Amino acid sequence: MGEVIVITSGKGGVGKTTTTANIGTGFSLEGKSTVLVDADIGLRNLDVVMGLENRIVYDLVDVVDGVCRLRQALIKDKRYSNLYLLPAAQTKDKNAVTPQQMQELTSELAKEFDYVIVDCPAGIEQGFKNAIAGANKAIVVTTPEVSAVRDADRIIGLLEANGLRNPQLVINRLRVDMVKRGDMMNIDDMIDILAIELLGVVPDDEHIIVSTNRGEPAVTNNDSIAGQAYRNIVKRILGEDVPFMNLESDQGFMSKLAKMFGFGKKK
């Protein structure tokens, strides 16, 4: 029986879909059979982020309505082994599916795949309830901004109220230069406020835009620092003890020198 992981955030635009695509592809690179489920009905995007938009025939709502079999709606990503996408419907709305149906769907998928990753829509209404219905683990994505952290806190409360205990946090789009000048909350600030376990920190990285332009998740790009962060996150979910990245790599010459001689700031 595979694990069903929901990627959620409350606020829109913090990187849920990007995180879903990268973690899912990362699982596939680690040899795990994985299916990505786009639960954002009416505003589907996981298909374009994955570069699979031209291959959609059936969607999630078709499966639920019995228009097609589950197998028929799954799109195989030919670039990676054992990676599939179940796209959302674009023309229906969130009420086209019920939490009960989502639960049945994800448990069906969990019989065949090691990991079922559900991309949750923004908000706390029906779409959110659908997305979390079948999950047995939740990952909360936030960025270091007051609005995103506030919404993350709300989502954490709602997840726990719905029996998804101990969600884990991904801090996305961290800008090390701004953290250094004290103009962006750092990792400790956010953990202090949200009081949940940190799963990973994804630095702000232009590669994410470029890779989304191309429809190739950054996790496959060895030059991308965000890709590296996602590879680490995947390993941590798989139970490996991966230390958090040293994000101070763009530091000045003097502090590098200091570090060489062992005077570096501890962190």
Partner 1 sequence: MDLFKMFSKSDNSKDIAKERLKLVLIHDRANVSPQFLEMIKSEIIGVISDYMEIDEAGLEIKLTRTKRDVDDTSVPALVANIPIKKMKDNGKF
Cα(146)–Cα(149) distance, integer angstroms: 5
CA distances in angstroms from 132 to 4, 17, 84, 100, 165, listed in the order given:
9, 15, 20, 11, 12
Cα(175)–Cα(46) distance, integer angstroms: 25
Question: How many other C-beta atoms are found inside a 10 Å radius of the C-beta of residue 164?
Answer: 19
Owner of token pair 């849920």: 16
Beta carbon nearer to partner 1, 189 or 206: 189
Beta carbon nearer to partner 1, 78 or 265: 265
- Smallest gap from residue 113 Cβ to partner 1 (A): 36
- Smallest gap from residue 179 Cβ to partner 1 (A): 8
- Smallest gap from residue 82 Cβ to partner 1 (A): 41
Cα(198)–Cα(172) distance, integer angstroms: 12
- Smallest gap from residue 187 Cβ to partner 1 (A): 12
Cα(52)–Cα(240) distance, integer angstroms: 30
- Count of residues engaged in binding partner 1, rule: CB under 8 A: 17
Question: How many other C-beta atoms are found inside a 10 Å radius of the C-beta of residue 77?
Answer: 20
Beta carbon nearer to partner 1, 31 or 157: 157
Beta carbon nearer to partner 1, 155 or 237: 155
- Contacts to partner 1 from residues 190-209, by CB under 8 A: 192-193
- Contacts to partner 1 from residues 138-167, by CB under 8 A: 145-146, 149-150, 153-154, 157
Owner of token pair 């079922």: 116
- Smallest gap from residue 90 Cβ to partner 1 (A): 33
Q: Give residues in contact with partner 1 (CB under 8 A).
A: 145-146, 149-150, 153-154, 157, 179, 181-186, 189, 192-193
